[in-house]
Chains A and B, each alone.
Chain A
Amino acid sequence: MNCEVCQLKELEVEHFEIREVLRCILHTIVFHRALGLVRPKVIDLELFDITYVQCGDGELEKKIDEKIEQFISWVEKHPNKKSQVCISFYEVKNKHPSWFTNKTERLYWEQWYINLNVSQQQKVHSGKSHPSKIVVDPGENSLEERSNRRAALESSLREVLFQIIKFVNEKKDHVPPISDGVVYFPYEITIPSSSDSAFGMDMIKRMLQTGHPTMLS
């Protein structure tokens, strides 16, 4: 099976925007790969005038958030770098894979690359937990700059979302058949940190996290 790859347009984000931007993109992707019964959950972004759709799965949401946190902490250690988050969908060859080994074979049939360019300039002002309240006035010019930049990012983000939708529309043949009771296809999210020393642990963890729920259900 061929593996389709989608490179999403690079987004220039500030540190405090990473969370929302990634959530929005990752959930949108997964929503289109959740072909089981879903009750869509509609989310309005706080930082942008954009609405996206989740598939309303609490577990999934939690895992995506965890992954995003990992990514953010990686970004903090590696400032001023372009970085990539990859979400891949795969099929597991073994019908009854054992969770604690790497034996199971994953056939990747799709990969999405989210390209982020994190700018650090505003990091000082940004609080982790209250990104939306950051807007202190650093002077009119910079305020204006900020709003311009924000608007630019918003439209880029919207473009990326449309890019996802178009890709989903154009490429349908490679999507594996739907299995009963499986809400979303098994996926894995890769962030730059996976090349760190924690790689092994990460792999196992990822297996547990991603492979597990889908197969059980």
Chain B
Amino acid sequence: MTAKYVTLIERTMAAIDTPAARGPRIRVDLQLIADMVAPGSRVLDVGCGDGALLDYLVHFKQVDGRGIELSQAGVNACVAAGLSAIQGDADTDLADYPDNAFDYVILSQTLQATRDPRKVLENLVRIGKRAIVSFPNFGHWRVRWYLGWVGRMPETAALPDRWYNTPNIHLCTISDFVGLCKELDVEIEKALAIDDKGKAIRVFGHWLANLVGEQGMFLLRQRD
């Protein structure tokens, strides 16, 4: 395992180091994503919602940012806020973009809701020099306990929906995801296990991350 799980202490230090440069607060897990993005870069946020992360990146990291969002209301809110966004989804709209069009392509909490996550991942690392992907971890101990003990589809903070109305049609574990990356020759430059508060947890190795992480978050790159 070459990937390094960044420690909580490192995160906390970073947060204390430059409070002035950070501006307004965004959701903690979005902040973790923002921290991975180099200032002044070109960013595509897939599933950008109402543009909270994009707005932060544009104003506090001076990125050239674009968003794709499924909900028209979300897109309209983004554009009305001066952000570039289009209506679309990860399954159908990523194929349009040329190779290496962006420095970072972000897919936050969406991979598990796509029809073809493998194709989506291939596209992410194709059109972005780097991709940042986060998803709810189905290998978390609480999920395992729920399924193993209660015998029903797990409902947790990260997975609040019932089995019949969840948009999450392709749930996976951190280990599953790491396996797919290996299969696609995608290099994991950074991996974070994230707790239910959205904070990075200090752990070593994917196996443990897979047990204690509510979410996995990865910085990825297609190997040449």
The answer to whether A and B come from one shared complex is no
Give the A-binding residues of B (Cβ under 8 A). Answer: none
Which residues on A are within 8 Å of B, measured CB to CB? none
